[in-house]
Each structure stands twice: as C-alpha cells, then as structure tokens.
Chains A and B, each alone.
Chain A
C-alpha cells in the first residue's frame, strides 16, 4: 500500500496544438480531501480524466491507488468518477440507472446497495421515474450517489455540487468528511470558496499549469500578499481610482468593504493612505483570504501565460 492515493508527475496533454495540461504533478494522500481549483478552461476536467484512464497523457507518469496510470482497468474498478456533465441515462429510471452501475461493478447484494442509496437520497418514492425528468440539482445528487455506489477507495468528483442547493451541499460535504475519515481519498474540483476551505489540501491550476499547492494556509502564505479592507461609501469609484496604482495588485468588493491586495505591504499601505486621505473611509489591515489569493493567481497567470490573440 502506497501512502498516496494519487501520485502523478509531469503529466502533459495536448488537444491538437493546444497544450492543455502542462507538467502537472500532484499528490493526494489516502484519506485526504483534495480540492482542485482554477478558472474555466484551465484543464481541471482534462487532468481528472487522465487520472482515471479516460484520457491518455502525452507524457508523464504516475500511480493511482498503487496502479500505474496505464493500468486503467484496475484503476476503474476502485475509483468513483463523477463527470462534470450529467452522464447517466435519461431514458432509464432512477433505479435502473443505479442498478446498471451496481451490475457493472459486479456488486454482491446489489439490490440492497441500490435500496440503501435510494433511501440515502430520499428518492425511494421516485425510483420508478425516468431520470431525465429530474431537476438539475437532483440529477447532480443522483450522479454523486451513483459514483459512490460501488464503495470506491478514491473519488474523482468534477464539480459535484454545481447547481446543488446549500443544505444538500452541506450534507454532501459532511458525507465527504465521513468517507475521508474512513480512509477514502477524494479529489474534488470546485469553483466555490467555502468548499475550497473545507478541503484538507488545495491545488490551483490556470492555463494548464499548477500554480499553488498545499493547505489553505500554505497557499495563502505562499503568495505573501498584504490585504486591506476599506470600509465606507462610494467604494466603486475608489476601486477605479486604485486601479494601476503602485503596490495595488487587485481590488475586490466583499460585501460592504473593498479588499485591496498587493505583494508589497508597505507600498500598498502608503498608496492607500495617500489616495484615501480626506475621504470618509476607514482602513484596516485584514488577513488575506483564499479568494484574494486565487484572484491574484488568476490575474498573474493571465499576464504570464496567456497567449496573445
């Protein structure tokens, strides 16, 4: 038994002449919930597909649950993969879909497992409905339950909670933590900050390149940003004013306050004091949040890697 559920290094993937994933190295420990973040089109889905054998990497190597990436048959048996786009059969009923999955993995006591899942979802009474008739959020919940049906050791979840309501999301994350406590590993991609904060570890990818990896605190610390909260009125105008000033990397509105971040704390403070002098606003230095860091990373990578059109 290796210590890592996922241990890949130097993965590359091209589509035509588009380099979609660049030298991706990633380690997910057993029993760890690993969050995978990045802007749209950054290569999250592509990376996940390479890890469960649905795409062949152009170069790079690695292991998944102790099996080499090329041994995708062995990996598939032990991995639960939830696709980003709903991929169960609309013209089968809910029970038929679950039953099909259970048969595919040759589960012993299939019927019990399906019944349990239906009950857990609260869909027992609707088991005979066609899956296509479910609402988007319910489809998502069904897909999630279906990919966990065969009790996999590793879950690869591609935006599992997109479109799911807050209370179902909370249930889902509680379930994930319960599974992780049992030693099941999870790689989950998401665009939600609150979910990112619930992960044990995070990776941030942009333009196919892994930009930061570690616990939330480590990711925040790695960029050593200083952030100030500006409270007051006419924040939108202020934001405009601050744009491009020395030491100011970004401004983000958070509720009633404007978060201004920059890599050089002293310079940022000086700029802020100069610009806001005489205005009815209060300045407070705050701890830099994950979202500040992600937005910073995204802007940085856009400057560094974006191919000019």
Chain B
C-alpha cells in the first residue's frame, strides 16, 4: 500500500498546497471576488426576455383604432414608442442606424377599410438581426391586435371582431411561471464560475512547479503521481464548495431564486462537478509546458462548455452533433442538476441520468491525468 499510495505523503502534498494558497493573496482574493463579480455582472445583465424596445410609428392617419393599438403596444411593456417618423425613407434610416428596433406602419386609410370589413394590414418592420431580442416582442404582437380589436370594435362594429379560435390552448408555465430569466441564469452561472476557477487554478498548479524549478525536487522524492495530483486537487475542492456557498446565498437573497430542492443534494452535485473540473485542470496542467499554455488550454476547454452546455443557448435548439458534444461536457450535466434541484426540487433518483456521466467523466479524466504525468524531466 505505502509503495503505491501513501496517505502521509498525500497529506503532506495537501498541506503544502494549502500553505502556498494561503500566502498567495491575489489568487485567494480571486477565489472570493470572481464569483461575486461574475454573479453581479451576469446575474443582472443577462436578460433573454428584453422589454421596452424602442419603436417608432409611421402614421398615415390618427384614429381611435390606431391610438388604441399603439396604447396596447406600449402597455405590453415590450414596446416603447419613442416618436413618429414622416415616411418610409426615414423609417428605413432609423432601422439601419439602429435607433429603433421596430417601426409600426399605419396606412392612411386603415380605419376606413377596417370599418368596411376589408381586413386591412398593419405593417411592423423589425430589426431582426438578433432573433432573441425581437422574438418575444413579435410573439406578443398578434395577441395585441386581438386585444385592441376586442376593445374598440363594439356596438354596430362588433361583427368585425375576429372569430374566436375553434379551441383554446391552456399553457401552464411550470417551475418558472413568470419566465424570470434570472431563475435560469443564476443557477447556470454557478456552473460557469466553478468551471472557470477550478480548471484555471489547477491548470496552473503543475506548470507553476515546473516553471519555478521545484518540479525537479518533487520528482526526486519518492512521491507518486496519484499522490501529487490528488493532493494538489484537495484544497480546490474546499474552495469550490466555498464558491458554491457564495453563489447559493446570492441566488437566494439577491436574486430571489426559489430553492425548492434539498440543500444537501445541491452540495453533492456541486462536489461531483468540482471534482470533474479539477481533474480536467490537473490534466491540462500535465499537458502544458508552461503557465501561459495552461491558460490557453483552459480557455480552449471553457468555450465549448459555455456555448454548448445549454447555459447560453437552449440545449434542444442545437443540432444533434452539437448536443452530442454538449453531453460530453460536465457543465451540461451540472446545469441540468442544479436547475433540477433548485427549480424543480428533483431528488437523486430523478437526477441519476445527469449524475453518472459526471462520475464517469471524472474517473476517465483522472486516469488520463495520471497517465500523462511526467515522472522525468525528459
């Protein structure tokens, strides 16, 4: 036993890492500061349901109908009418310059044709370069026409009201009824922040020894690869849990994210995820020749995690091959775990499909790390 893995040697590695970490003020500050800054930035900044989008009107007429329609737009919160424009040319220019997101065109004879029952059209031009920015507002448009019509077309004009659809569809928005973006983003941020700090910190761990020349000393002692690697990882497990706590507290008390599930389960998920990322970091650390390379490899690993994990963009919206890659990444599974626990109150049984991939990932990557550990200076 002591030949292959010695607890005493392993523990002295752990102690050494803790001591060095404690004296590294900047790193230590980053560990606490980074989650706070990122949470504040992204938690408040990211909104996938933007409101109050600047809207201009090209009004061919001023009638009760159009006033009422514009009021409905304004009241929906999605549109903010910032003024009227004289003609099509001005409208195009405003859209090109990005001054407005929407232009609503009201044809000159709109109310006359409406009253005659000719089913006239309103034209809404949208700057749809960013589908996410306009999507929700455009979806609201149709509904608004109905509402406005319902309000104004009464008495003798009631016949012009659109017929009700043949059947109704009732939607229950579960787990996040108000569609609050933060409820989705803040738990997702937990995984993003942990990925970033865990992989980077351990990524530097081994290359730092190599660059400072202390690796030669370490290699000359009887210490075994597994002792070095796991010993270097342990302090960061603790750090990962501290960061998780900071983020959970902020989620609960700053962003008012409901925590439906069990707190113990949250920490279990965090622990699994932290372990997975640390093994990645330590592997990158063995592969890289120096700290700069380790940083570059970290970024190389971080980007697909950020983009393909379902944090930034809806997972189901990705093509099959991208989902396949996404499923290989720990962040994907952690996102499912944390959202499941926080918002849906899932338990271990429901979460198992996302737990075993993390376990498997950690084992395989740790194997790779030990294999790539260089026992000599060659």
State the A residues within 8 Å of B (CB). 49, 52-56, 72-73, 76-77, 79, 81, 83, 85-92, 96, 99-101, 103-106, 130
Closest CB in chain B relative to A249 CB, distance in Å: 38
Closest CB in chain B relative to A67 CB, distance in Å: 13
CA distance A89 to B205 in the complex (A): 13
CA distance A30 to B164 in the complex (A): 103
Instruction: List residues of chain B with CB within 8 A of the CB of A81.
Output: 220
A-B interface contact total, Cβ < 8 Å: 73
CA distance A118 to B20 in the complex (A): 21
Instruction: List residues of chain B with CB within 8 A of the CB of A76.
Output: 220-222
Contact assessment for A103 and B217 in the assembled complex, using a CB-CB cutoff below 8 Å: no
Contact assessment for A55 and B222 in the assembled complex, using a CB-CB cutoff below 8 Å: no
**B12 CB within 8 Å of chain A:** yes
Q: 18 more A-B contacts (CB under 8 A) besides A81-B220, A90-B212? A: A54-B219, A54-B376, A55-B376, A72-B376, A73-B3, A76-B222, A83-B220, A85-B213, A87-B214, A87-B215, A87-B216, A89-B16, A100-B16, A101-B221, A103-B9, A104-B222, A104-B223, A130-B23
> B104-140 vs A: 1/0 string, CB under 8 Å?
0000000000000000000000000000000000000
Q: A73, A81, A100: which has the most chain B beta carbons within 10 Å?
A: A100
Instruction: For the complex of A and B, list the 9 residue pairs with the smallest distance between their C-beta atoms, beginning with the closest.
Output: A103-B12, A87-B217, A104-B221, A81-B220, A87-B213, A76-B222, A91-B23, A77-B222, A85-B213
Instruction: List residues of chain B with CB within 8 A of the CB of A72.
Output: 375-376
Which B1-57 residues sit within 8 Å CB-CB of chain A?
A: 2-3, 6, 8-9, 11-12, 15-16, 19-20, 23-24
Given contacts A83-B217, A87-B214, contact A100 B12 (CB under 8 A): yes
CA distance A53 to B221 in the complex (A): 11
**B377 CB within 8 Å of chain A:** yes
CA distance A85 to B215 in the complex (A): 11
Contact assessment for B6 and A106 in the assembled complex, using a CB-CB cutoff below 8 Å: yes
**B178 CB within 8 Å of chain A:** no
Contact assessment for A83 and B216 in the assembled complex, using a CB-CB cutoff below 8 Å: yes
**B168 CB within 8 Å of chain A:** no
**A101, closest chain B residue (CB):** B221
Contact of B214 among A73, A88, A105 (CB under 8 A): A88
**B378 CB within 8 Å of chain A:** yes
Closest CB in chain A relative to B316 CB, distance in Å: 48
CA distance A122 to B221 in the complex (A): 25
Contact assessment for B222 and A105 in the assembled complex, using a CB-CB cutoff below 8 Å: yes
> B320-331 vs A: 1/0 string, CB under 8 Å?
000000000000
Instruction: List residues of chain B with CB within 8 A of the CB of A89.
Output: 16, 20, 212, 214
CA distance A86 to B223 in the complex (A): 19
Instruction: List residues of chain B with CB within 8 A of the CB of A85.
Output: 213, 216
> B206-250 vs A: 1/0 string, CB under 8 Å?
000000111111011111000000000000000000000000000
Q: B2, B217, B376: which has the most chain A beta carbons within 10 Å?
A: B217
Closest CB in chain A relative to B348 CB, distance in Å: 38
Contact of A92 among B9, B16, B213, B378 (CB under 8 A): B16
Closest CB in chain A relative to B19 CB, distance in Å: 6
CB pairs A–B below 8 angstroms (5 shown): A54-B220, A72-B375, A100-B15, A104-B221, A104-B222
